[in-house]
Structure formats: C-alpha cells, structure tokens
Structure 1
Amino acid sequence: MKQSARPPIYYQVAFDVASKIAAGDLKEGDRFSGRSLMGSQYGVSPETIRRALGHLNDLGIVSIKNNSGSTVLSQKRAKEYVEQYQANLDLLSLKIKLREMVAQRDALNAEINHISDQIVDLLERFRSSDRFRTYEFPIQKDCAVTGQTIGAIRFRQRTGATIVAIQKGSELQLSPGPETELAQGDVLVVACELSQIDQVSQLISPREMPQEE
C-alpha cells in the first residue's frame, strides 16, 4: 500500500497554529478563537480543531480552558515543535522515496533475471542440435533490407533460418517479432544450418532484393 508523506489533517492544523506562535504572530498570553470559528477558517470540522488544540495543549504550547478559548503558553516550545515536525516530515518523505527506489531496483533485477533466463534458454535450445549453429550477420550500408521489417522481407520463408536476436547498438533484442525494423549497423544473430548461410547472406547483401514469384 502506498504511504502518503502528508500527516493527518489535525496535525497539519496544529503545525500551522504552532508556526504562527513560533513566528510571533500569536504571542504568549494571547487568546485566540474557539473551535467553531477556527474550523471555518481552516475548512475543517470543530472536532479536527479540538484534536489539533488538544495536541498542542499536551505539548504545553497552548492552554485550553472551557468557555474561554485557548491561550498561548510557550513560544519556545512552539519553535521546538515546528522544527521537530519539519524534521519528521522530511524523514518520512525520504523513507517513502527509498521504498520506491527499492521497488524499482527489485523490478529491474527481475527483468534482468528474466532476460538472462531467455538467453540461457536460447543457447541451450540451439546447443542441443548438431545441425544448427548461431551466426552473426551485420547489416551493411545500402543493404536491400534496410528500413524494412522482418515480416516484410519474409526472412524465415526465404532462408529457412531464424533470427534469434538483433544487436542494435548497445541494445540486444531477443526473439524479435515480424514487425521489427532492420537498420544499417544492426547485427542479426541467426540460427541456421551451414547450407542456409548463403541464403541469408544473399538476402541481406547490398543489392536489390530478389523479386517474389
């Protein structure tokens, strides 16, 4: 469950009142309005104001007396409370940020493990057959297949081979689909028999693609 960095409403009201006392807007000995009026000022219920002032009363910042409102007792304690409140809020924010970063790290580790498993599976799949090996075919300048997708050039149908991965710069795409577009500089990792190497080389050679019959 996602945790909020914002404290309960009555804590926020208590902090605002304490901030006014700490700043000298409300001085020691000053009396201020009751729960109903403060509730309308803050846009909260009188019960929320009661809890906020009760919290400050417990800390010795204000004094609550029946039928006479609240009285400011200590600016020093108000300043200490404001500093502690802000420190706690910063600490909570850091904890939440750390928790989110840990979750992102765990998700990244899971993705890394998934890709590693795919690589191992592909290697084992082709090692188990004496007929098939993997070969690398770079897409050279002016190759006829540049800018076209694997499906459009009918790679599997024309060569009988399988593209198991494509190295695109620093990125390795495993099991590319027919919609994957080929670009100059790509390196195709192809699983095929020795007899199919020529077909692959001819298909990606820098000349016009053979016309379909």
Structure 2
Amino acid sequence: MREMTVPAQYLQIAADVASRVAAGDLPEGERLFGRSVMASEYGVSPETIRRALRMLADMKVIDVKPQSGAVVLSRDNARRYLEDFGEGAESRTLRMQLRQIVQEYEELNRRMEKVSAALLRSEETFSSAAEPLPSFEVPVPKGSPLTGRSIGALRFWQSTGGTVAAIRRGQRVILSPGPYAELYGGDVMILIGTPAAAEAARRLAAVPEETEEAGGRQPAAGKGAD
C-alpha cells in the first residue's frame, strides 16, 4: 500500500491563499493581513506564514514589501500556481520531507557525538576518582629541622609536591592539619602524593648529619683542662 504524503504546512497555506486570489476573494491590489494575524488564523507560527508568502511572491502571485506587508499582484498567476501545485506538489513535498529528515539526522548525529564525548569524560573522571590515592608514612625523627615549625611556614607542598593529609602523634591522629599545624619529633606524617614526593619529605625531615656527628664528639662530663 502506498503511503500518502501530506504537503508541508506552508505549502498548504500558500495554496489556500492562491485559491482565494484565483476565486476573487482577494482581488488584485488587496493588502493581506500581517503575518501575526495570519499565523493566528491558520494556527501556525509567523515563520510558517513567511515561507508561504515567500513562495507566492516567487510565483508573482503577491508582492511582499518590507515594512509594508503583502499585496495581491495577479489572479492569473494564482491560477497557474495552483496548476503547478497540483501537478508537482507530491514531488516537492517528498523532496522537502527528505531534506528535513537529513537535517534531523545530522542534528541527531551532532547531539550523539556531544553526549558521547561528555560520557567518556565523565567515565574517565569517575575511573580516576575511584582509584585510591597513594599515601605514604613519613616519620619526623627527634632532632629533625621540622620540629616546632608549621606546615605553612615550611611551604611543604612547594618543597615536596606532597600534601600532609594527617599527623599521627602517639595515639592521636590529627586529620587534615591546616597550615598552622606544627610538627614535633616522633610525629608520623601521612603524605598524599607520588613516591618522589614522599622521598623529598623524608629528606626534609631527616636529621642533618653534621648535627649527629657534632653531638657524638662532645666531651664527657667532668673532664676539662688542667
């Protein structure tokens, strides 16, 4: 069974206006109502009316002037338009429908590409977030140059590339210490970062060798010069 095609709305409106001109209901020289009024009359958008009038203007049925509206030009041209419309309406409608389907298909493809790209970005972000952040324990030994100094004053992140997520001090754990939190000998820093950042933090916290050597060479108490 052959599917019946229905002309687009603007073609149907153009045919209706042409019929009224051909019948003499709209005589030559008659000014048509504005697009808004016609849109309300036919129950369509002003853009649909504009396309219908443009079609009739191309066939010299009416004359459309900016700021002045549309005026009926020729009753004979209206008859010829109706003859052409009747003979070629189905072919024009099929071409128009095909063009509309192609446009919708292209728009759908663009939307699919946009949503697919967003989905991939979302999955990559979720996958990265789902992986546990690498953490390291960095002890602060007795005599460390970090003793008594705050994380902010040490410019810890700039110096190591790692972030102190917590400080374990005996049985106590200080979570998310701020820049004013001070470090003391015996503390253990819980560091978030790369292995290189953890190694840099260990070097920063290490007791200088010079201090250790100097401390080991101090004379025993009670001994002095004669």
- Normalization by structure 1: what TM-score? 0.40
Larger Rg: 2
